[in-house]
Amino acid sequence: MIISSCTSGENSKIPQAVYEKEQEAIEAIKAQYPNADFEKDDNGFVTLVAIDSLSNGELPIELQRFDNLKIVLFNDGSLSELPEWFSKLPLSEVYLGNNNFNQFPKQLLSMSSLSLIVLRSNPIVSIDDQLYFPNLQTFWLPNTKITKFPIIRQDPNSPAIDFHFKETLIDSIPDEISSMKIKRIWMSDCNNLTYISPNLGQQDSLEELNFSFHAEFGTAFYNRNSIPRTIPIPEEIKHCKNLKNLDLEYNELTSIPDYVFEIPSLEILGFRGNKISEIPEKISKLQKLRRIYVTNNQLKTLPKSFGKMPNLETISVWGNAISKENLPVEMFDIRREKKCALLLYMSNDKSYEGLPVSQEQFERGYRWYGRQY
């Protein structure tokens, strides 16, 4: 998001009295926080206030003077609680990342107009089991200490929600998940997760699932001593008819689960860092697949049926024991308007020597990753 300091304009449609009131508030906030930024809408009303590194842990009371305030960004500070008047602000988006909140701020609970809540990297340990946010679209609490997956009460016309709970202590995705409309669940590096309800398969609006691990990263909140491990994905997710992106990196998988081939809507698959020795020929059942990442596994060749998948754009399989000589001729028996980028090795080897087909046939459907044609 681009944030710019606001200035008054001759064509402003804001009433003079309101303009003066808001301008006084801007000047007062600027006097306390010189790094504060503001944005106005086309009518001249202040709609966004951003103050990074609020070191005194207090919000300026002048925020109450902005009648059309929609977005606040107060990241990287020392906030541990919000003032009571905060719940009266007409906000739609709240960014409170990397502060000192131990609990989910109670002032947010009555703000039903919120469409986005970001509380990343706070030491939050608990959150209400039942929340009511009928307009919520994005709920981000990565790098926190929450242990329960929150259930959001919605209205019939509520939008599907994007949940981002990376590196939390959540231990289960409960059966009550069927009561929500969900667009995305991102729970990479959730080491305590032991149960995912089969009801996840009832999510017609679900487009992305990420249950990957990344052993090279970490935070103080996350204990990686028990890696390697596998997230217990229920096969019922094959009923998620709009699922497009499935990421199961570093899950100790020895094969691609059978349910994957029953999700024809899939466009992106991530299986980096597992122990997969084969990509089955039935991969061609996924005719919408555009990208597949199976790097750092135990592959020795690729499936012939790649030659029957016209929508493939990227095949990334470096870090396997694949030689060009072992590639099947049949995978090159295809002509693609947009050539599929093939990444076999991390080296700069983009030669055609050793391929089972000619350069001309290779280039009908493929290109080496990083090379343009």
Domain annotation covers residue 348: no
Print the domain residue range for 237: 16-293
DSSP per-residue codes, 141-207: --SS---SPPEEE--TTPPPEEEE-TT----EE-GGGGGS-EEEEE-TT-TT--EE-GGGGG-TT--
Whole-number average pLDDT of the chain:
91
Beta-carbon contacts of 297 under 8 Å, excluding residues fewer than 6 positions away, are 271, 272, 273, 274, 275, 276, 277, 317, 319, 320
Q: Is the pLDDT of residue 363 over 70?
A: yes
**Residue range 122-148: average pLDDT?**
94
327 falls within a domain: no
Q: What is the pLDDT of residue 218?
A: 38
**Neighbour count for residue 337 (Cβ, 10 Å):** 6
So what's the pLDDT on residue 232?
87
What is the structure's pLDDT at 345?
Answer: 86
Average pLDDT over residues 81-105: 97
In this prediction, residue 349 has a pLDDT band, given cuts at 50, 70 and 90, of low
pLDDT on residue 278? 97
Model confidence at 162: pLDDT above 50: yes
Read off the CATH number of the domain in which 148 is found.
3.80.10.10
Instruction: Give mean pLDDT, residues 322-330.
Output: 95
Distance CA 272, CA 340 (A): 19
Burial of 130 (0-12, 13-18, 19+ CB in 10 A): exposed
Q: Is residue 371 part of a domain?
A: no
* Inside any domain, residue 30: yes
Q: Is residue 178 part of a domain?
A: yes
CB contact set of 222 (below 8 Å; sequence gap of 6+):
167, 189, 191
Instruction: Work out how many domains the chain is built from and give that number.
Output: 1
The candidate with the shortest Cα–Cα distance to 223, out of 293, 144, 169, is 169
Q: Indicate whether 315 belongs to any domain.
A: no
Is the pLDDT higher at 11 or at 157? 157
Residue 370 has pLDDT above 90, yes or no: no
pLDDT over 90, % of the chain = 85
Residue 242 banded pLDDT, cuts 50, 70, 90: very high
Query: What's the pLDDT score for residue 219?
Result: 38
